[in-house]
Amino acid sequence: MDIIAKISIETSILPRQVQAVATLLDEDNTVPFIARYRKEWTGNLDEVQIRDIERKLKYYRVLEERKTAILESIEKQGKMTEELKEKIIETEKLQELEDLYLPYKPKKRTRATIAKEKGLEPLAEKILDEAHPETFAAFYVSEEKGVKNVIEALQGAMDIVAEQVAEDAEVRSFTRKAVLAEGIMVVKAKELKANSDFEMYKDYKEPIAQIKHHRVLAVNRGEKVNELSAKIEFPDELIISNIKEYFIIEDNRFINEAIEDSYKRLIKPSIEREIRNILTEKAEEQAITVFSQNLSKLLMQAPLKGHVILGVDPGIRTGTKIAAISRHGEYLAYGLFYQENLEGSARIIKEFVDKYKIEIIAIGNGTGFRDVEKVVASTIKAYQLPAKYTVVPETGASVYSASDIAREEFPDLDLTIRGAISIGRRIQDPISELVKIEPKSLGVGQYQHDVEQGRLSEELDKVVEDCVNKVGVNLNTASYSLLKYVSGITSATAKKIVTYRKMKEAFKSREEFKKALKISEKVYEQAAGFLKLPEGEDPLDNTWVHPESYPLAREILNYKKENRIVLDQKTQAELMRKFNVGAATVQDIITTLEKPNLDPRDDVEKPILREEILSIKDLANGMILKGTVRNVVDFGAFVDIGIKNDGLVHISEIGGKYIKHPLEALQLGDIIEVMVIGVDYERERVSLSIKKIAEMKQETAVKKK
């Protein structure tokens, strides 16, 4: 198989670009490095496109390796034919390849293998080829081989035929396709608990072709906790008739019985397992994709740098912990209040705001946070404090608080205080704080605990790596947790950086980082451009310019007037020839030198800062509110509108045009306008709509005309 050509067709990316990415990956270049510093090689492919090529390369290389192993195995068995060899070589899917190999795959003793040991294979061939195979059965009766009579001979031969039918690649393929197209998932209650999450599935049916990914994972979980049982209804008549049409040349009752036995005993259970696996794999793929996109948006939220923050970790029994954080993210002091004591709580909040010049109060959205929010809002209003507040997702804060990283940072503080610090820092620089927490603990996915955890972790780590390298890190202040995600830097190297800083205070240049830590040329090449030094000796060390391009950058600086690079096409072409680079590199350097501290998060809308609080009792249908998207799932998006529970915008209420998934229109962290279209005061649930606002605006515009 021409893997490069195949990937090019699947991705609509030119073969030369795919080949360039494959070569660069094989040379141990990281995806972030390739995306930023090898644009001329790849034709400006971004991280998403490069990751897609990387995944497909891995798949097709595994496929080719598996083909080689299978060909060798069948050759050793002496069973290879030219037709089989051609099919194996030409197949492009692992599933089809395994189907072809199944008859030749070493297996445990089965009814068919036992029958073969008794010498009944020739009789099995008669069943497949002759109208009356029973006339030959007597020749295979043998006390010595354990075949006592004609009935046993025919039964053993039919067992061989049944297995042959079940292992036929064509049979498995059309059976699988028939079930995927016409099968039905049937779910029944088993031992439903009171107020079970699986109530809707207690007597549930849905065509396999239509079942949603999140429902597959829900059913899987229900089975795992023994509340549900599920099976797949097959289009039996269709499949059996197809098998008979495919196999029967000379019609006889023995082949019919063998086919029906094969279908019931071997094919159906096996294909059902496969279909369940296929559905689960697709559902997991979707869940991981949704989680990955949500995680990326969470990490790339706009930072509120340069503000003094009061981090608030709500608590009910043990009180609410607060921590003052300097504008540089340094911990200043902590406090405690009990929200039931309104007067005492307000006094403590005011003291902190006055003493530390608090500008923003960040409230974690844990249990009881709305009661704390009321205290904060009323305190701001009563004392006319020069501060605003915002609610911050605190998922994972407790994980961080009890971690080795937190203990190392704050060895003398109680873990609940560490939680308040983490919440406060999340608003200052989300990515720097959130990387300290295992990605899957950040709670921005759906059914994340029901997917294969190793693969989930691997994919989420790639998301974190891409985000960290898009933003870049300060070599002298970045934590170990942040540094270990930098292109080319391993956990061991990250620890060396932190240790060196403790001993020497600070790096003065990127070159010092290389020499002092004895970094290899390859690691330096991959990492240097992403490591920034605001206080460094060379201004270029605080830009996106890679050290390999410093000579070119210094020449381009000669053409800088005020904040612009004035470089005509002729001069640019001369520089490209002189330094053997392309237009993409020159243009990137120009952009960097004009905006040396460009942060991709600068264009992201800042968090909503509030002074007053809403109650669900304040809501009514038709109200228009501003909110923050907190999570995006298959069936819609949850939006924080400032009440106890996030409201739901169902997928049908997102936009005027049809969308397959909410992620086509909404991203985590988006600030949006929503209309209240339903309020369940008893269950404290709110239904929201974006579509209704658009319709209302359209009607207004028509009336004005």
pLDDT one-digit tens code per residue, 335-381: 999 999 999 999 999 999 999 999 999 999 888 888 899 999 999 99
pLDDT band at 21 (very low <50, low <70, confident <90, very high): very high
Predicted confidence (pLDDT) at residue 701 exceeds the cutoff of 80: no
**What is the per-residue pLDDT across 250-297, written as a single tens digit (0 to 9) for each?**
778 999 999 999 999 999 999 999 999 999 999 999 999 989 988 998
pLDDT band at 697 (very low <50, low <70, confident <90, very high): confident
Tell me the average pLDDT across 199-222: 94
**How far is CA 139 from its chain centroid?**
62
pLDDT the model gives residue 187? 96
Tokens 């809707």 belong to residue? 200
As given in the structure block, the two tokens for residue 440 are 């899957």
Distances (CA, A) of 413 to 76, 297, 317, 408, 417: 66, 31, 19, 10, 6
- DSSP strand pairing (671-680 vs 685-689): antiparallel
Tell me the average pLDDT across 683-696: 88
Taking domain 107-292, whether its CATH number is 1.10.3500.10 is answered by yes
pLDDT the model gives residue 440? 81
**What is the per-residue pLDDT across 94-153, written as a single tens digit (0 to 9) for each?**
999 999 999 999 888 999 999 999 999 999 999 999 889 999 999 999 999 999 999 999
Assess contact for 457 and 440: CB atoms under 8 A: yes
User: Among 539, 535, 566, which residue's Cα sits nearest to residue 554?
Assistant: 539
Which residues neighbour 408 within 8 Å (Cβ) at sequence distance 6 or greater?
none
Phi, psi for residue 47 in degrees, rounded to 5: -60, -40
Question: What's domain 309-437's superfamily in CATH?
Answer: YqgF/RNase H-like domain (3.30.420.140)
DSSP codes joined into one string, 450-466: GS-HHHHHHHHHHHHHH
**What is the per-residue pLDDT across 590-640, written as a single tens digit (0 to 9) for each?**
999 998 888 888 888 888 888 776 778 888 898 898 889 988 988 899 998
Question: What's domain 3-103's superfamily in CATH?
Answer: RuvA domain 2-like (1.10.10.650)
List the chain domain ranges: 3-103, 107-292, 309-437, 616-704
167 vs 615, more confident:
167
Assess contact for 665 and 689: CB atoms under 8 A: no
**What is the per-residue pLDDT across 479-531, written as a single tens digit (0 to 9) for each?**
999 999 999 999 999 999 999 999 888 899 999 999 999 999 999 999 999 99
Tell me the average pLDDT across 306-331: 94
**What is the per-residue pLDDT across 432-450, written as a single tens digit (0 to 9) for each?**
999 999 888 887 777 777 8
User: What CA–CA distance (Å, rounded) separates 624 from 703?
Assistant: 20
CATH architecture of structural domain 616-704: Beta Barrel (2.40)
User: Among 114, 138, 117, which residue's Cα sits nearest to residue 126?
Assistant: 138
